């Protein structure tokens, strides 16, 4: 095996990323920031291949998002709990910049990053109001095959 490489961003890259996040926000969301952005919803979508975390306001308008792939993980490393915790750290930083303090967490999927993302969010100081699992569950399965006639 080769050397393990840890992706570290310089201060200049971090500043560019924060500017990109702030520029990507809608103008009306910036106006609402001071008055109503104290609460938000956080959607964690964890699959076998990646972990996506989306921060929205109460109405469901997307404020910011991050994924393991967008942070810099590639291949099978995107599906690890470590990558999910790093995504959660990035989202918590963005949430604090936006002024979001209370969040409702909605978890979807069966990947390995579910628990570590929630733990990382709790450790970063965000007040978690509720955690709900919204993974779709088949209620009766798919339609069976027709009866074979001989």
**Residue % of the chain over a pLDDT of 70:** 88
The 10 Å Cβ neighbour count of residue 66 is 22
149: left (phi over 0), alpha (psi -120 to 50) or beta: beta
Q: 118-133: per-residue pLDDT in tens?
A: 999 999 989 999 999 9
The pLDDT, as a whole number, for residue 27 is 46
The pLDDT, as a whole number, for residue 25 is 58
More confident residue, 97 or 24: 97
Q: 81-95: per-residue pLDDT in tens?
A: 999 999 999 999 999
DSSP element (H, E) containing 19: helix 11-24
Question: How far is the C-alpha of 55 from the C-alpha of 114, rounded, in Å?
Answer: 15
Q: 20-73: per-residue pLDDT in tens?
A: 767 765 544 555 444 455 899 999 999 999 999 999 999 999 999 999 999 999
68 φ, ψ (degrees, to nearest 5): -65, -35
The pLDDT, as a whole number, for residue 1 is 59
- Each domain of the chain, given as residue ranges in start order, spans 35-133
In a 10 Å sphere around its CB, with 0-12 CB exposed, 13-18 middle and 19+ buried, how is residue 136 labelled? exposed
Write the class of the CATH domain 35-133. Answer: alpha beta
* DSSP state, residue 147: P
What is the tally of helices (H) and strands (E) in the chain? Answer: 5, 5
Q: Name 45's bridge partners.
A: 52, 108
- Six-digit token pair at 73? 């993980």
């Amino acid at each position: 095996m080769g050397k393990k490489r840890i992706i570290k961003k310089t201060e200049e890259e971090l500043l560019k990323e924060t500017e990109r996040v702030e520029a990507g926000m809608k103008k009306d969301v910036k106006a609402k920031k001071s008055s109503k952005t104290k609460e938000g919803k956080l959607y964690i979508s964890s699959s076998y291949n990646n972990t996506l975390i989306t921060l929205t306001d109460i109405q469901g308008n997307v404020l910011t998002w991050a994924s393991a792939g967008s942070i810099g993980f590639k291949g099978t490393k995107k599906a690890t709990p470590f990558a999910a915790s790093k995504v959660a750290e990035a989202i918590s930083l963005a949430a604090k910049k936006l002024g979001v303090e209370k969040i409702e967490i909605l978890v979807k999927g069966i990947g390995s990053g579910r628990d570590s993302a929630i733990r990382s969010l709790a450790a970063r100081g965000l007040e978690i109001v509720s955690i709900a699992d919204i993974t779709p569950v088949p209620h009766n399965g798919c339609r069976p095959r027709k009866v074979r006639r001989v």
